[in-house]
């Protein structure tokens, strides 16, 4: 089963760190991520920009766009990783090895582990097309681009 691990942090505390401290954090996290990837358990990992966030909400007049994260909170999601594990207990064990789960309390570090109920894996040719809006309700349709020579691939 796949598990989403959300890495939280306090952006104000993180911004107060020096460049050397941020580099030390990266030096700790990268080897961990690389080793987890090499084990075949890490499916994806990403670090998120905390200064830029947009929230989309449905409204009577259409979709509203608001700057900032979804909720008002001291800690923000700063990263995520998706792992493969046989059980929630194993996912917790694997996630607990991440540096953000072991140190960085003064930076508000935390890792939340959540089972993924449903996922669609992207195909290799998923970027070789466009999305078109089907109707006014926002339904989309994927249109695969065909090669210029007219062949179907």
Residue 128 has pLDDT above 80, yes or no: no
| Chain centroid, CA 20 distance in Å | 25
The per-residue pLDDT for 150 is: 54
CA distances (Å), 136 to each of 50, 121, 131, in order?
32, 27, 14
pTM, two decimals, is: 0.75
Bridge partner residues of 82 (DSSP): 4, 44
Bridge partner residues of 3 (DSSP): 83, 115
- pLDDT-above-90 percentage for the chain: 35
The per-residue pLDDT for 151 is: 56
Q: What is the pLDDT of residues 20-71, one digit of tens each?
A: 998 988 888 888 899 999 999 999 999 888 778 888 888 888 888 888 766 6
The per-residue pLDDT for 54 is: 86
CA distance 23 to 87: 33
Q: Which two three-digit tokens encode residue 23?
A: 């580099």
- In the chain the domains, ranked by start, together with CATH numbers, are 2-122 (3.30.70.1060)
């Amino acid at each position: 089963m796949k598990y989403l691990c959300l890495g939280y942090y306090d952006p104000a505390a993180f911004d107060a760190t020096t460049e050397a401290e941020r580099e030390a954090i990266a030096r700790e996290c990268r080897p961990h991520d690389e080793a987890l990837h090499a084990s075949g358990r890490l499916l994806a990992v990403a670090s998120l920009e905390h200064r830029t966030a947009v929230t989309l909400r449905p409204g009577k007049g259409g979709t509203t766009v608001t700057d900032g994260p979804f909720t008002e909170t001291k800690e923000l999601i700063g990263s995520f990783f998706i792992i493969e594990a046989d059980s929630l207990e194993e996912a917790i064990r694997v996630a607990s090895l991440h540096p953000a789960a072991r140190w960085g309390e003064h930076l508000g570090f935390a890792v939340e582990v959540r089972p993924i109920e449903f996922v669609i894996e992207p195909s290799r040719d998923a970027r070789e097309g466009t999305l078109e809006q089907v109707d006014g309700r926002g339904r989309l349709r994927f249109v695969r681009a065909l090669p210029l020579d007219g062949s179907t691939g």
